[in-house]
Structure 1
Amino acid sequence: MIGRAQPGSTKLIKRMNRENILLSLKANTGVSRADLAKLTELSRPCVSSLVDEMIQEGLIHEIGMGTSKGGRKPILLEYNFAAFGVVGAVFEGSTMQLAIADLKGDTLYRHQISLSSPMDGEKAIESVAEGLKVLLARSGFDKSRLLGIGLGLPGITRRRDGTISYAPSTGWMGLPVRKEIEEKLGLPVIIDNDVNLMTLGEYRRGAGIGYSNLVYMYVGTGIGAGIVIDKQLYRGAREASGEIGYMMIGPIGKRLQGEFGVFEKNYSVSAVREKARYILPYVGSGSIIRQIADYADRGMKEARQLLDDTCKHWAIGIANMASMLDPELLILSGELIHLGEEGLHSIKKSLSDWVPSVPELKLASLGEHAGIMGAIHSVLEAFPSEAASRV
């Protein structure tokens, strides 16, 4: 005997059916209720009931009449990408970028705030809350229409349990960061490593469009990489993949607990800037590679040696990744984008000497917006469940 469905299971089935309809409308614009029944394999009465419900909620629009196939002209439907919004936020050095986007991932409003230094975990959470408050006030966007926020953080993040296992710059070590931020913001939160989100942004909207396998390398305060394999962002068993700052490149020395890795201790932007202070007459706040290259072009021997040494060791990191992962594409970002054509040519030549298969090399195209775009898309990946649950 088949029993009556329990209330909990009935609600779950309804949510799944709503999600099925929304996903079909995202992929197919201008379809009728009958078309949706075929696409979703749901009954026509079920589709009609749920569509009418979601029209009232603003998730679906009626956009006009279709062509008749012998009976009445069907009413065509489309997904309302403006029904809700999502927020992306990323910590980038001494600033935090925030943006609100629609459900297509198109940015509607942006805001940037300067961060105090040093930045600990508590101050970081406060800065997210304050940044969101200002963003909502300036945009006039209703917070109740936000589905959630994607947040890019430095360190080894664990999306599954909402913690950060390693983050020297903030002191977050195994703490329930996601839970604390959700309580502070009153919104669902997805946390991820900042470079992973930059990678996702370039993959979805930038230099990585159309590629199935790629590596994204970022050189900034630290050195990190994001890896896409078969169109999926690869995070590793403990979600620590891409932590190439710990490659044994450059003088090793003795590493203390909580310090940065060997590669980034020797060749991050901070490390290279510190080396430059010893040889250049003046070091400004702009791109350190451009400054070193400028003095090298003027004939300063020490500047040329530092530039060549830095490029060589960055190329070693790239070669290590290329020989291990064999990607179609390797995207260079952060300080690497200031190498210019000459620097890019030098790296390509080194790779051709060192590895059996040289990937295509591209400079990142989204700049400081890559992380934001990735954070936005990290929320959009979870969107159908969020929207469908608003029953």
Structure 2
Amino acid sequence: MVLGGSSKLLKALNEAAALGHLLDHGELTRAELRALTGLSKPTVSEAIRRLTEAGLVVGVGHETGRPGPNAEVYAVNPDAAYAVAMSVRDHAPALTAALYDLRGAQRAHLEVPVDFTRTDPVSAVDETVAALCEAAGASREPVAHVQLAVAGAFDPRDRVIHHVDVPGWSRPGLVDELGARLGTAVGIDNDVNLAALAERAHGAAQGADAFVLLWLGDSGLGLAIDLGFAWSGSIGAEPHRARPGVGALLRGARGGAGEIGYIPVGDGDFHDLVGPDAVRALAARYDTREELLKELAGRIVLGLAAVVAVLDPPLVVIGGELARAYGEPLGDAVTKAMSHAAPLETAIAVSTVDGDAPLLGAGDAAVTAVRETLLAALRQPTP
């Protein structure tokens, strides 16, 4: 609860409280805002007036069906700020992108064929942002955050994307060049980490206190680790518990947590067993799906059992194109194989996210970043 007051700081905090509840709940009357914030009627009215003048809040109609005057209903202005999500791939289409408004609604979606051996990533991203805004009939000026999903590890210390196979994307200075060209905040994260955000918000991990996402994709493997705690932001800092059912991703000191393909297995590594080429070769050897899934599950368990032994997650979600292709039968086969091989009992589920999970997660992350930036700005009023 924020206490009312006459200082600029208190007014700013009151505005941030009102906007935060509108972002969370969608549409609210002044009475509902008073109940949620604990603020007085005049204070709520003043906060709404200032937010409306700032273009952050709009009236969306009147509440009906109750005795007395119809109360005006308010919501955030969807066009006050936009967020962009992009997924970068080493196969066609090289870029998929989406534009979201402040309410989280997708306003445009594009698949862009790009030859990164000939096109600079900075130009490709910049042109795609412009094309998204044009497709949505929206101004580019309100774009406040661009979130990129890449099949690699972004190291925040040297600000370089490592272990990425897309030409040009490992170039030192690229991330800062993107920010300078776009004139907006740019977020970089591993595509499987962002797929895990989508899984928690929209898929099989909804409500889970913790989980890991094993990604078996057409272009590689990955593991996202969400064990229900959050880092304070600095290397070496102590973790703190996240809200139940929310969690936080573990990215590692250099952004490389979850590179499961490099786990040594026999004379090779995990990628040699369940990477895209290995699975295609395996599928060619079997006449029936049942035999194929039994062999594939046995291979998956060789890496997954180590993950479970070290992390002890309550839930493992299997995602990626392979999971989409084989569905629940793959989950059942892995569950059976894990019961014989893993030292700890863990629930196994197959992803239920519909569509491009990394792009969807990038959209969630981008919208969240825009909202947090707006709220932080309101809490720090100008002198």
Q: TM-score, normalised by structure 2?
A: 0.77
Q: Is the CA contact 2:294–2:333 (under 8 Å) kept in the aligned structure 1?
A: no
Query: Which of the pair has more CA radius of gyration?
Result: 1
Change (3 A) 1:132 1:271: farther
Aligned counterpart, 1:328 = 314
Change (3 A) 1:31 1:130: closer
Matched, 1:163 2:159: yes
Matched, 1:315 2:301: yes
Q: Is the CA contact 2:224–2:258 (under 8 Å) kept in the aligned structure 1?
A: yes
SS at match of 1:382: helix
Residue 28 of structure 1 and its aligned partner are, at CA, apart by: 4.0
Aligned counterpart, 1:374 = 361
Q: Is the CA contact 1:218–1:224 (under 8 Å) kept in the aligned structure 2?
A: yes
Which letter maps to 1:207? A
Question: How many residues are paired up?
Answer: 347
Aligned counterpart, 2:24 = 27
Matched, 1:136 2:152: no
SS at match of 1:142: coil
Change (3 A) 1:113 1:174: closer
> What is the CA–CA distance in structure 2 between the aligned matches of 1:359 and 1:313, rounded to whole Å?
17
Matched, 1:355 2:342: yes
Which letter maps to 2:98? A
Aligned counterpart, 1:179 = 176
Structure 1: tracts of 5 or more residues without a match: 1-8, 253-261, 277-288
- Pick aligned residue for 1:247 from 235, 256, 263: 263
> What is the CA–CA distance in structure 2 between the aligned matches of 1:179 and 1:152, rounded to whole Å?
16
Aligned counterpart, 2:236 = none
Q: Is the CA contact 2:102–2:371 (under 8 Å) kept in the aligned structure 1?
A: no
Q: Is the CA contact 2:121–2:169 (under 8 Å) kept in the aligned structure 1?
A: no
Residue 181 of structure 1 and its aligned partner are, at CA, apart by: 0.9
Aligned counterpart, 1:204 = 201
Cα displacement string for residues 322-381 of structure 1 (whole angstroms, at most 9, x for unaligned residues):
232232322212243123454433222110001243333222223542111111111222
> What is the CA–CA distance in structure 2 between the aligned matches of 1:162 and 1:57, rounded to whole Å?
38
Matched, 1:268 2:265: no
Residue 235 of structure 1 and its aligned partner are, at CA, apart by: 1.9
> What is the CA–CA distance in structure 1 between the aligned matches of 2:305 and 2:354, rounded to whole Å?
23
> What is the CA–CA distance in structure 1 between the aligned matches of 2:38 and 2:370, rounded to whole Å?
21
> What is the CA–CA distance in structure 1 between the aligned matches of 2:348 and 2:223, rounded to whole Å?
14
Change (3 A) 1:47 1:317: same
Which letter maps to 1:49? E
SS at match of 2:265: coil
Q: Is the CA contact 1:162–1:179 (under 8 Å) kept in the aligned structure 2?
A: no
Q: Is the CA contact 1:89–1:372 (under 8 Å) kept in the aligned structure 2?
A: yes
Q: Is the CA contact 2:221–2:260 (under 8 Å) kept in the aligned structure 1?
A: yes
Q: Is the CA contact 2:297–2:337 (under 8 Å) kept in the aligned structure 1?
A: no
Aligned counterpart, 1:297 = 287
SS at match of 2:74: strand
RMSD: 3.4
Aligned counterpart, 1:191 = 188
> What is the CA–CA distance in structure 2 between the aligned matches of 1:116 and 1:225, rounded to whole Å?
27
SS at match of 1:143: coil
Q: Is the CA contact 1:162–1:191 (under 8 Å) kept in the aligned structure 2?
A: no
1:110-125 alignment to 2 at 5 Å? 110-116=109-115, 118=117, 123-125=120-122
Residue 66 of structure 1 and its aligned partner are, at CA, apart by: 7.8
Cα displacement string for residues 137-168 of structure 1 (whole angstroms, at most 9, x for unaligned residues):
2222221232211111121114x568235234
Q: Is the CA contact 1:249–1:313 (under 8 Å) kept in the aligned structure 2?
A: no
Structure 2: tracts of 5 or more residues without a match: 1-6, 229-246
Residue 228 of structure 1 and its aligned partner are, at CA, apart by: 1.7
> What is the CA–CA distance in structure 1 between the aligned matches of 2:148 and 2:279, rounded to whole Å?
28
1:13-162 alignment to 2 at 5 Å? 16-28=13-25, 30-33=27-30, 36=33, 39-40=36-37, 45-62=42-59, 63-64=61-62, 75-81=72-78, 83-94=80-91, 95-116=94-115, 118=117, 123-158=120-155
The percent of aligned pairs where both chains have the same amino acid is 27
Residue 226 of structure 1 and its aligned partner are, at CA, apart by: 0.9
> What is the CA–CA distance in structure 1 between the aligned matches of 2:10 and 2:371, rounded to whole Å?
14
Residue 35 of structure 1 and its aligned partner are, at CA, apart by: 5.0
Change (3 A) 1:109 1:42: same
Change (3 A) 1:238 1:165: same
Cα displacement string for residues 201-237 of structure 1 (whole angstroms, at most 9, x for unaligned residues):
1211222222221111112322111122222222233
Q: TM-score, normalised by structure 1?
A: 0.76
Change (3 A) 1:269 1:207: same
Q: Is the CA contact 1:269–1:335 (under 8 Å) kept in the aligned structure 2?
A: no
